[in-house]
């Protein structure tokens, strides 16, 4: 009975997600200077400028923005969710091999490259049109130390497992026009990510605070990793964890202090970020774990 009730609640919750998942960023003004519009195999891509920002979104009438940069101060991060994901460095201030799933405008890999010029950064981005857009309009560039693989993120992780490649820092920041693709939400996928992490590897995942999938995501992450940290504001919840056990707050604060001067040019500060950090444990009653067999689409199609 408990499991049945969980899936009933889940089905209703998912409808809310599909209706408004991308409200994470404010609607742009009515008058936009559109720079680029293209339809790829996966989505409609629009790049525009508005009030000193250059932004990318999926579809001309979409509310949410996938990436933005300030034209006058290009190093300063615009979105709080990017700052929260970057705060994963508080768990490992000196990563050597990084995997980012989802490119967007290329903000995350570009900032990490500026901070750590000699580390290896791999990006899995399924849509070649996104890579082209990031290079053309957001000054993203790749080379032998910052490689973009035009593959589905889960396929990339599976291949890394086969090749026994390990990462000490993995970021999941993949959204389509609705939400995180369903195959990147499941217990099986998280188990695969766990297996490509090094012994003390850090995993950071960008989700939405107001997503109706919130409890189901928590249950799924907890089923694979146990307790985890999260940074949360009104729009986003960024899940953070480290293999081998969560670091104590004293260590996190010490690392944040060590990184403060280096992160300040990107409009990051420990005073703003550390108060957002808390531990989540367990999950709400009547909440089911997301699996490959019981995915959101399967559930909706069954209604």
The confidence score (pLDDT) of residue 295 equals: 73
DSSP 27: P
For residues 48-70, give the mean pLDDT.
83
CA distance 165 to 224: 20
Q: Which of the four pLDDT bands, split at 50, 70 and 90, describes residue 87? A: very high
Q: Which residues are catalytically annotated? A: 173
Q: What is the layout of strands, in order, in the sheet containing 67-70?
A: 33-39, 44-50, 53-58, 67-70
The confidence score (pLDDT) of residue 62 equals: 54
- Provide the CATH number for the domain around residue 124: 3.40.50.150
What percent of the chain stands above pLDDT 90? 72
The confidence score (pLDDT) of residue 131 equals: 95
132 closest CA partner among 162, 104, 91: 104
157-170: per-residue pLDDT in tens? 999 999 999 999 99
Q: Which of the four pLDDT bands, split at 50, 70 and 90, describes residue 78? A: very high
Lowest mean pLDDT among 200-209, 220-229, 281-290: 281-290
Structure tokens at 152: 């589905």
The confidence score (pLDDT) of residue 60 equals: 65
Lowest mean pLDDT among 18-22, 124-128, 254-258: 18-22
Say if CB 126 and CB 152 are below 8 A apart.
yes
* Helix%, strand%, coil% for the chain, nearest 5: 40, 25, 40
What percent of the chain stands above pLDDT 70? 85
Quick count: other Cβ atoms within 10 Å of Cβ 247?
Answer: 20
Residue 4, H or E segment: helix 2-20
Q: Which of the four pLDDT bands, split at 50, 70 and 90, describes residue 201? A: very high
Q: 3-class DSSP state for residue 58?
A: strand
> Apex CA 111: angle with CA 99 and CA 39, to 5°?
70
The confidence score (pLDDT) of residue 61 equals: 56
For residues 266-294, give the mean pLDDT.
92
Structure tokens at 212: 């109706």
25 closest CA partner among 60, 59, 70, 55: 55
Q: Is 25 exposed, middle or buried, given 0-12, 13-18 or 19+ CB atoms closer than 10 A?
A: buried
Q: Which of the four pLDDT bands, split at 50, 70 and 90, describes residue 63? A: low
How many domains, the chain?
Answer: 1
Question: Bridge-partner residues for 69, per DSSP?
Answer: 54
131-153: per-residue pLDDT in tens? 999 999 999 999 999 999 999 99
Q: 3-class DSSP state for residue 142?
A: coil
Residue 302 above 50 pLDDT?
no
Question: Bridge-partner residues for 236, per DSSP?
Answer: 208
For residues 63-81, give the mean pLDDT.
90
Q: Which residue range forms the structural domain that includes residue 179?
A: 2-301
221-255: per-residue pLDDT in tens? 999 999 999 999 999 999 999 999 999 999 999 99
- Three-state helix/strand/coil letters over 50-75: ECCEEEEEECCCCCCCCEEEECCCCC
The confidence score (pLDDT) of residue 167 equals: 98
């Amino acid at each position: 009975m408990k499991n049945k009730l969980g899936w009933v609640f889940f089905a209703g919750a998912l409808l809310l997600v599909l209706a408004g998942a991308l409200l994470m960023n404010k609607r742009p003004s009515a008058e936009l200077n559109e720079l680029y519009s293209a339809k790829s195999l996966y989505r409609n891509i629009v790049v525009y400028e508005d009030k000193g920002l250059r932004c990318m979104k999926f579809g001309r009438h979409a509310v949410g923005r996938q990436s933005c940069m300030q034209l006058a101060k290009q190093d300063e991060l615009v979105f709080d969710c990017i700052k929260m994901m970057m705060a994963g460095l508080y768990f490992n201030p000196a990563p050597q091999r990084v995997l980012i799933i989802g490119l967007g405008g290329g903000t995350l890999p570009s900032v990490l490259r500026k901070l750590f010029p000699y580390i290896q950064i791999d990006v899995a981005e399924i849509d070649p049109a996104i890579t082209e857009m990031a290079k053309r309009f957001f000054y993203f560039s790749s080379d032998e130390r910052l490689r973009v693989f035009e593959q589905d993120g889960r396929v990339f992780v599976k291949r890394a497992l086969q090749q026994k490649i390990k990462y000490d820092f993995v970021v999941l920041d993949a959204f389509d026009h609705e939400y995180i693709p369903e195959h990147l939400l499941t217990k099986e996928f998280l188990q695969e990510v766990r297996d490509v992490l090094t012994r003390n590897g850090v995993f950071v995942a960008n989700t939405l605070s107001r997503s109706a999938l919130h409890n189901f995501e928590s249950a799924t992450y907890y089923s694979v990793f146990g307790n985890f940290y999260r940074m949360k504001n009104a729009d986003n919840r960024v899940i953070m964890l480290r293999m081998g056990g969560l670091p104590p707050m004293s260590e996190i604060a010490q690392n944040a202090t060590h990184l403060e001067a280096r992160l300040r040019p990107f409009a990051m500060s420990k005073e703003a970020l550390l108060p957002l950090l808390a531990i989540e444990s367990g999950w709400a009653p009547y909440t089911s774990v997301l699996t490959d067999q019981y995915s959101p689409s399967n559930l909706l199609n069954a209604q």
